[in-house]
Amino acid sequence: MVAVTGIGVVSPHGDHHEAMFAALTRGESAIHEFTSDMPNAKPAAVASAAFQASDWFTPLQLAGVDRVSQIAVAAAAQAMTDAGATGVYEPARIGIYVGCGMGGGTSLEAGYASGLRSGRVPPLTIPAFMPNAPASHIAMRLQATGPVLTYSVACASSAVALGEAAKAIRHGEVDLAIAGGSEAVLVPGVVKAWQAMQTLSIFEPGQAASSCRPFAAERSGFALGEGAAFLMLESTERARARGARRYAELAGWGLSCDATHLTKPDAAGQQAAIRNALAVAGLSARDIGYCNAHGTATRIGDLVESEALHALWGDSIDALRVSSTKSMHGHLLGAAGALEAVVTVLALHHRQLPPNAFCATPDPACRLNLVREAGAAAPDLNAAISNSFAFGGTNAVLVFQRA
């Protein structure tokens, strides 16, 4: 078995995982309004992470280090400390597995702007925005010399990273895996590009906080989020031997590809990923008590995900509690799977479920047993899944069990 022994986050709800989870279970939104001075810019709903780079880097160290790498280093280091794993394992036996969908958006946009304005692009633009920079900076900070890998699979990136890290632990390739994801693209150009796709939520002035409403009849899209989240993974045997706390077990992981459309999801592909994850875990659908849904609050996305869940759970669908916490922390793109895995782990650990917030009128076409109340107790919860479904058609599902 693969144990989760450490957690680290830099999230829209703060940089401590327990405080973040408490805010989510209370149903508190960190989503706010974003405006820019770009031509024809419209307000967007976003969820930014409160982060002070000076707490983690000196001014000299910050040269050429994009925000996406800064928050990744902070979250990974917190996970290492939380696990009590500093100095425990040989550096060559520590692996870094990171999901990042878009890389250093701040550096890339600043480089373009500088080039257009003055004809000069900062010389460190390339190493700052390359998608594997977060993983490399984590490795340097934590002196990990084992495999250092980056997965860029759109919104499934960090869920894929977690699954690959768990495989490496199970197969004995590494003794400790630092696995998760980071994303920081709340810059005018990227926000406007997502608005052009008509995937972001629509809201009245002052209503951004409640604008992301997964599975609601009146849903209109998601809020872009930023942040980083990492789990420390090691074998259950090693964790027990060193007396480490185990938050949960990462019991199963499943991948599939829709192979039908670049942006439109497919229920059959999602079913395959869930089925594969359950098979690895040796569990059936009826063993799962909670689903942290991908739930982006898009018209088609939520409906397709509900179809996939219905197909697998059948008459037992009402026994599956479902919520999408994107309603409160936004969609972290490449880091979404990791942050939502943290939420799922803590739901199991505390046997408490975060709500599917701001869903005043559930869409009757989805027909799910949504967690609509804050602080919902789940005294019998023993297993849960976290879904991540990406543009490009890749589906990644993680299964967690109580330790």
Is 291 in the active site? no
Check 17, 100, 137, 155 and give the catalytic one: 155
Convert the chain into a string of H (helix), E (strand) and C (coil): CEEEEEEEEEECCECCHHHHHHHHHCCCCCCEEECCCCCCCCCEEEECCCCCHHHCCCCCCCCCCCHHHHHHHHHHHHHHHHHCCCCCCCHHHEEEEEECCCCEHHHHHHHHHHHHHHCCCCCCHHHHHCCCHHHHHHHHHHCCCCCEEEECCHHHHHHHHHHHHHHHHHCCCCCEEEEEEEEECCCHHHHHHHHHCCCECCCCCCCHHHCCCCCECCCCCECEECEEEEEEEEEHHHHHHCCCCCCEEEEEEEEEECCCCCCCCCHHHHHHHHHHHHHHHCCCHHHCCEEECCCCCCHHHHHHHHHHHHHHHHHHHHHCEEECCHHHHCECHHHHHHHHHHHHHHHHHHCEECCCCCCCCECCCCCCEECCCCCEECCCCCEEEEEEECCCCEEEEEEEEEC
Neighbours of 190 (CB within 10 A): 18
Is 155 in the active site? yes
Contact 179, 171 (CB under 8 A): no
Is 257 in the active site? no
Neighbours of 318 (CB within 10 A): 10
Check 137, 329, 331, 349 and give the catalytic one: 331
Check 13, 137, 294, 329 and give the catalytic one: 294
- Report the C-alpha gap between 47 and 74 in whole angstroms: 18
CB within 8 A of 1, min separation 6: which ones? 235, 236, 249, 251
Residues pairing with 6 in the sheet: 232
Contact 283, 35 (CB under 8 A): no
Which residue numbers are catalytic? 155, 294, 331
